[in-house]
Structure formats: C-alpha cells, structure tokens
Amino acid sequence: AIPSDVIRLDISIYIHAEFARIKHAYHVNGIWPCEEDVDRLKELTNTLFIFISTAVKYVDDPVENNPVNRLRILLHEDTTTHLPEHTQSPFARLDTLYLEVLRTAFPRMPSPQMMASIKMVLGSVVLLRDQLAPKDLEGLLKLEHRTIRRTLQRFHSLLVIPKDDQGIIHIIHPSFPDFLMDPLRCTNTAFLVNP
C-alpha cells in the first residue's frame, strides 16, 4: 500500500497543476483558487484520488463554462444535506460528489419522458459488461442518431464520451456504477438504476 502522506502529496501536486491549467484555459483573473479552497479540497479528498479527479472534471465543465462558480458550489454550498446515511463508508464523500454532479447536471427535474431516457441510457452504460460506441448503443436501444450524446453530455465528469461515433463510452471510475445501483448510496432515486 502507498503511504497516505505520499498520496496526499500527489493529490496536492495534482490539484495545483489541474487548477493552473483550468485557470489558464478559462482566463480566470486573480488568485484562484485561494489557499483556503485548496485546503478544503484536500480535506474533502481524504486520500481518495478519484474524488479529486471527479471534482476537477466537475469544475472544468465545458457546458457550464464557469469554473469559479462550479468550485464555489462544490466547496461552499451546504452539501451535507446530500450526504448519504452511511457516512462511515469510505465512499461517503465520493457519493456526495456524485450526487452533486447529478443535481447540477439537472437542476430542474427533466420531464418524465426525458428522465426515462436518461435512466435507460445511463443504466445501459453502467450495466453493460462490454462498453459500446454511441452509435452501437443507439442501435441496441433502438434510439435515433445522436440521442446518446445528447443524453450523456452533462455527465462528462463521470463518463468519457468519445468525440466520434467510433470511440467507446467509458465509465471513469468503477465506483460510479456501484453508486448508481445502490439505494443506500444513490439517494436521488430519480437516477437510481435497478439492475
């Protein structure tokens, strides 16, 4: 096992490098993030590299195009109301982040038809043993062309969506399907996947 102080150092280096890249890419002025925010990120990460990796993708959302606001939401809104009941779990903070990503992807609940489409597509992605290209998944589910991209575009911090129809959809971390299928972890039942 890697010592926790080595993991913390790696996470610190990663945070500084990624936020410098985001700051440059979005032309953020001034000192950002402040040291207090960096310290809070380190505290939330608690040696789970997947947490900081997902948090960076959440902040660096090209659809939202506002990393300063995304970081503020992640660090300063009261997310304790979204904490799953099993807060002793090693994934409690990660589950909270997953819930926040889902909540901000859809701040207003989509129509029942759209929610059914989201659950069908997301459920298919997390349940398939073999990952598929968007066009192949559309064929399997008998969906119109580009439906998969439209449906999954807000999940880029959780899934890798290929730029073309030949690439494969990848789940970034294996804990995400586990999260979506566990009602104790995914407390937002709108996104809960029943295998």
According to DSSP, the residues that pair with 171 across neighbouring strands are 159
How many Cβ atoms sit within 10 Å of the Cβ of residue 13? Answer: 10
pLDDT digits (tens, 9 = 90+) for 13-65: 999 999 999 999 999 999 999 999 999 999 888 778 888 999 999 999 887 89
Banded pLDDT at 91 (limits 50, 70, 90) = confident
177 vs 91, higher pLDDT:
177
According to DSSP, the residues that pair with 159 across neighbouring strands are 171
Angstrom CA distances, 193 to 16, 27, 117, stand at 35, 38, 12
Confidence at residue 77, expressed as pLDDT on a 0 to 100 scale: 62
pLDDT digits (tens, 9 = 90+) for 122-168: 999 999 878 899 999 999 999 999 899 888 888 888 998 888 878 99
